[in-house]
Amino acid sequence: MNNPILHVMIPAFGSSPYLRKTLESALKHLPPGVPITVVEDPSDEIELESLVKQFPRVEYFKNSSLLGIGGNFNRAIELSTGVFTQICGSDDIFLDNPLKDFDKDKLTQSNISAIGLDVAVINETGKVVKTIPDLVKRTLRPSLKKITIFQNDKIFSNLMLGDWLYFPAILWKTETLKQVKFNSNFHTAMDLDVFIRLLDNDQKIAFIKSKVLGYRRHSQSASSLYAKSIGRFDEEFLCHKNALEVAMNKNWRTGAFLAQLALTVRLHAIMQSFLMVVTSPLSALKVLVKAISPIR
């Protein structure tokens, strides 16, 4: 029996107040041949099984112990039956079929391991919004065709300038990710870390210019809660340190320069340090030191 091209996995934890909307949108837009699975990390707060069972097409799996964000993402990859796996947030929504413009002949090449998709950014109520981080991402995004398969050195340099892709809108090659795995110690830079390791192993990244996901920004999302912490910058600077080593080994001079420059990460860290100075001066100082320290 052939595996489906795509399996959509929805990791969830706690109350997940937007999960119903996520599932309703998935059933509306995903073809019948695309499996959908909710993978719940256990919580004392609530159990989501009763909600998921209201959607007969959706499979439900609950971890026996708490794995955390990265661990649950790895579990999702392990459970996936698809050639590609999309890890959709339990607060995001589907706007269209992610396979609508999927060119099987082009995109199932053995060395394409990640395919980005376009998104609309929405708020708590589902209204499309334009935030500063998203305007920066849009500015950093390179010129794209309907389907773009990037040259490795070019996309590496581009991501070192700033990670403009959106994690929930990425189709990951399942078998490759089972080997590479997400770093379970990371919270916000997991995708950048994987991209760097994929490119180090001569895997390719592609993009389909098709707006299929509503990426929800809200104050209680895991990424928002973690975004202002020192740990977020620890992750990003570690990614750039690892990327610098990759670029030097591959003689990607522009990529090495941009990995060391870490411009958008530094600017964000400096801005955040000023915002933190009143509530947590010591943390603000630590972030500022990171922002001005060389990467080596």
Q: What's residue 220's pLDDT?
A: 64
Q: What is the pLDDT of residue 247?
A: 98
CATH topology of domain 6-218: Spore Coat Polysaccharide Biosynthesis Protein SpsA; Chain A (3.90.550)
Give the pLDDT of residue 287: 87
Per-residue confidence (pLDDT) for residue 224, from 0 to 100:
52
Q: Give the separation between CA 220 and CA 20, rounded to whole angstroms.
A: 17
CA distance 49 to 46: 9
Q: Which residue has the tokens 């060391």?
A: 260
The domain spans of the chain are 6-218, 228-292
Q: Rounded to an integer, what distance in angstroms lies between the CA atom of residue 206 and that of residue 111?
A: 10
6-13 and 84-87: which strand pairing? parallel
Check residue 279 and give its pLDDT: 86
Residue 90 structure tokens: 């339990």
Q: Is the dihedral of CA 249, 251, 256, 258 positive or negative?
A: negative
Tokens at 142, concatenated: 């390179």
Question: Which residues in the chain show pLDDT less than 70?
Answer: 1, 219-229
The per-residue pLDDT for 221 is 58
